[in-house]
Amino acid sequence: MMINAMLVGAFVMASIIVSLFFLRFWKSTHDRFFLYFAMSFLLEALSRVIIGTTNIQNENPLIYLIRLVAYFLIIIAIYEKNKKRR
């Protein structure tokens, strides 16, 4: 149980760091691609915080919904980036 909490904490920390990394690039370029990725990683961190601090399991629909929104943001970012090139 303790090792699971440590791994969840490490994943949350890594997700937040990656999100801040993308926010820094968004701040300098104002490209929404980076903003979408930053929001996606923040949502991923949120889902892990919920898992780590409550009794909600990975299979809960709330967790799936948060992850679905996060992955959908990545798809939107990629679509918008490729749409501009055409």
Each of the 86 residues of the chain gets a pLDDT tens digit; together they read 678 889 999 999 999 999 999 999 999 999 999 999 999 999 999 999 998 888 888 788 999 999 999 999 999 999 999 986 66
Let me know the angle formed at the C-alpha of 67 by 66 and 69, rounded to the nearest 5 degrees: 65
* Global confidence as pTM: 0.88
Give the C-alpha separation, 75 to 78, whole Å: 5
